[in-house]
Amino acid sequence: MQIDWNPPEPRTGLAGQWDRFMGPGLRPAELWLILLPSLAMTVGVLVYAYTQNLGWTAVQFLIAAILAFDLTGGVITNATTTAKRWYHRPGQGMKEHVGFTAVHFIHPLLVAWLFRGGDWTYFVVVYGYLMGAAVVIERLEGGLQRPLAMLFWQGGVLISLYAFTATPGLEWFLPFFYAKLLVSHLVKEAPFAL
């Protein structure tokens, strides 16, 4: 298999905005691989919360749906050849990668505020761990980046299981959150030619 680091040029207009988000040249197979599980997870989370009588408000249902769709799709999207080629192209370095990770503060903030009753210790620990791990992963090159990302992901799973009580209906949140950012997004992997 041949490695190809050169992404196609993004299209113009609204399609170009999509290209800059997902990576230009996203194949239909990749799109369906992203879309179907994201929709299934979103529906699953909403059905679970409803049938378990978690007492969520309409806002909580909406935020849970957005989180489920974004994190499920994000884990898959950031692992695609298209996204690897785009987000790790020349000119994309630590500033861009850690910056992309940093804007995801909103996810644990919303969980801490809306689903954990303003548990700010949860937010600080979850987000602090994310950013510390992101900087360490981003500083490494070559073959150690992926195993280190997996080690940090395992640490994130342990945080979700043992550092805090589970968030009812969002027990999956931290493993998906850390998988999307630490493993799928930050790890520079060879984008094989499509």
Axis crossing angle, helix 58-77 with helix 28-51, rounded to the nearest 10: 150
Q: Residues 6-12: what's their mean pLDDT?
A: 90
- Please say if the pLDDT value at position 141 is more than 80: no
pLDDT, residue 143, reads 85
d(CA 24, CA 8): 6
Q: Cα separation of 145 and 132, whole Å?
A: 14
Rg (CA), the chain: 17
Residues 188-192 have a mean pLDDT of 82
Q: Looking at residues 148-159, what average pLDDT do you find? A: 98
